Amino acid sequence: MEGIIKCPSRVGEPPRLLGNRCSSCGRVFFPKRTLCPNCFTDDTLTEVELSSKGTIYTYTIVHYPSPAGIEAPYAYGYVDLPENNIRVFSLFTESDPKKLEIGMDVGLVIEKIRIDKDGTEILGYKFKPV
Amino acid sequence: MNEAYVIGVGMTEFGRHPERSLTDMGREACWRALKDAGMHPKQIQAGFSGNSLAPYLQKEVDIGQPILREVGIVGVPIMNMSNACASGSCAFREAWLAVASGLYELVIAIGTEKAFMGKGTMLDVGGQDFQLMQGGVFPGDFALRARRHMLEFGTTKEQLAKVSVKNHKNGCLNPYSQFKKGFTVEEVLNSPMVADPLTVLSCCPNSDGSAAAIIASKDLSKRYCEKPIKIAASALRSGTYDPNRNLAVFDLDIEASKIAYEMSGYGPEDIEVAEVHDAFTIAEIMHYEGLGFCKPGEGGCLIDGGETKIGGRIPVNPSGGLLSRGHPVGATGLAQIAEIVWQLRGEAGKRQVENARIGLAHVAGGGREGDIGATTVHILARD
């Protein structure tokens, strides 16, 4: 998750997702891209911190373990970040259908997201209902 | 572009064939298609072979040459094609293009896959893909679309389940089908949950099987074939991956079918039988809308009204579709072509759509970032 998340350096600060923005067309990308696919120009992308607050666009709860090493049940979906006009893919902290709803406000957290094939616990980002 | 025709089709029974190799299944499909066309293998001028998962599941690559060698198609140009679930339909498209361009007069397209997995097994392909490494799975991605469709258009779980009921009922009438068993709406809804709201019986299986088609120029087809079926259109579109697009709509269906309708001169109202990519129940409902069989958002009403059953206004997946016939990934596109050809020739037995003259085959293959990778639409017509 290096280059994808910025961990808070002070207590009380939220973590941030790191995307990039094209200085030519203004589009924001997450995860980052190495060139802007809309502009035929080099060196237009600069890193931006994305908003840590969003709303659930859609979600599902998966009842079988993921091949990536995530125990079932787990929930994932897309979160709209209105400040950045971008929709991002994310796991959710909750897997109880009663605690998730389209349009719900969610905030970014850093958590264990999966266990690697060699048993290493991998940290990543999730969104949590506010 | 020259006119091209399908003059022969053949396939294996789909399902679980642990004792059979890719080459063995491919040989059977090719042999049947050649016999159906009444052509000698030595007359075939080029071959196009679709497969998606053999490099991952069997550690085999370039399986087209060994398959075609079995039936004596050697020396001529042979191409291996991979485009996820659209591998077979893209092999068919390339075969069409080879004849339509005037380069060849007689070619074969084949799709073969050995991908049987127990229901509920998640396909573990895609390497280090960003979403895959965070739990993204195929049934989940379609569940995300289902939730949006339910919210935006009021589509219900019962409507989704009815797709599975219809296709399993059709599959009982198809000797090539993996599942020859019917289910009720309650059984579909109460089967184990895979990715909410999609249950096990809302998801297609991964299967073993092969299917093939022989494509010929107009001259050749009229000379050798009693019932040649014209390829009236072939369209292929790839994903755009706009992160902010509406997940309750299949953009690629709209784009690919628009091209196919324009190319053929037919509209959605002219289609009398269709095979569409029902990998998940929600997908079939959304494909009704994307292909123009009903207005956006009315897919649920179409299944409710029985309009897509055999005998309805626009029968969809009379073969049983992916849900019941099974889904050997790279073979599905050509199994659809075989089904439409049988339907248009009036040879579909108990699942025959009465007097069907114009048919459509649709595949939505693979994907990244929540978009489909490759969507093909083919329109076939009886002269």
List, for residues B33-86, the tens digit of each pLDDT value: 999 999 999 999 999 999 999 999 999 999 999 999 999 999 999 999 999 999
Alpha carbon distance B114, B105 (integer Å):
31
Residue A11: band (very low, low, confident or very high) from pLDDT cuts 50, 70, 90: confident
- What residue ranges do the domains of chain A occupy? 5-49, 53-129
Inter-helix orientation angle B281-290/B157-171, to 10°: 100
What's the pLDDT at B217? Answer: 98
Q: At what angle do helices B332-345 and B87-100 cross, to 10 degrees?
A: 60
Query: Structural domains in chain B?
Result: 4-117+207-232 (3.40.47.10), 132-205+233-382 (3.40.47.10)
CA–CA gap between residue B286 and residue B249 (Å, rounded): 7
B355 touches chain A (CB under 8 A): no
| Each residue's pLDDT tens digit, B112-159 | 999 998 766 777 766 678 888 899 999 999 999 999 999 999 999 999
- What tokens does B165 get? 């009921």
Question: Parallel, antiparallel, or unpaired for β B46-50 and B106-114?
Answer: parallel
Residue B74: which residues within 8 A CB-CB, separation 6 or more? B65, B68
Would you state the pLDDT for residue B368? 76
Burial (CB count within 10 angstroms: exposed 0-12, middle 13-18, buried 19+), residue A12: exposed
B172 labelled catalytic:
no
Q: What is the Cα Rg of chain B in Å?
A: 19
Q: Which one of B135, B143, B195 has the shortest CB-CB distance to A70?
A: B135
Rounded to the nearest 10°, the torsion over CA A3, A60, B121, B129 is: -20
User: In whole angstroms, what is the distance from residue A38 CA to residue B207 CA?
Assistant: 40
Q: Would an 8 Å CB–CB cutoff place B200 in contact with chain A?
A: no
Q: Check CB contact under 8 Å for B144 and A59.
A: yes
A47-56, A117-126, B219-228: range with highest mean pLDDT:
A47-56
Q: How close A3 gets to chain B, by Cα (Å)?
A: 13
Put simply, the answer to whether A62 touches B244 (Cβ < 8 Å) is: no
Does the distance separating the beta carbons of B124 and A70 come in below 8 Å? no
Q: Dig out the tokens for B57 from the structure.
A: 């599941």
Query: Token pair 């923005």 is at which residue?
Result: A21
Name the minimum distance, in Å, from the CA of B42 to any CA of chain A.
45
Catalytic residue among B149, B277, B327, B378: B327
> What is the mean predicted confidence (pLDDT) over A70-98?
96
Each residue's pLDDT tens digit, B335-369? 999 999 999 999 999 999 999 999 999 999 987 77
DSSP B350: G
Q: How confident is the model at residue B373 (pLDDT cuts 50, 70, 90)?
A: very high
Could you tell me the CA-to-CA distances from B299 to B170, B262, B349 in Å, in that order?
A: 19, 23, 28
Q: Is the pLDDT of residue B13 over 80?
A: yes
Q: How large is the average pLDDT for residues B256-270?
A: 98
pLDDT digit string (tens) for B206-223? 999 999 999 999 999 999
Whole-number percent of chain B with pLDDT over 90: 91
Say what the pLDDT of residue B383 is: 86
ipTM of the complex: 0.95
Residue B311, classified by CB atoms within 10 Å of its CB into exposed (0-12), middle (13-18) or buried (19+), is exposed
Question: Which residues does B164 contact at the CB level (< 8 Å), separation at least 6?
Answer: B183, B188, B201, B202, B281, B323
Categorize the per-residue pLDDT at A26 as very low, low, confident or very high, splitting at 50, 70 and 90: very high
Short-list B62, B54, B46, B60, CA closest to B109: B46
Q: Which ranges in B7-86 belong to alpha helices (H)? A: 22-37, 54-57, 64-70
B327 is catalytic: yes
- Whether pLDDT at B102 is above 70: yes
CA distance A93 to A113: 9
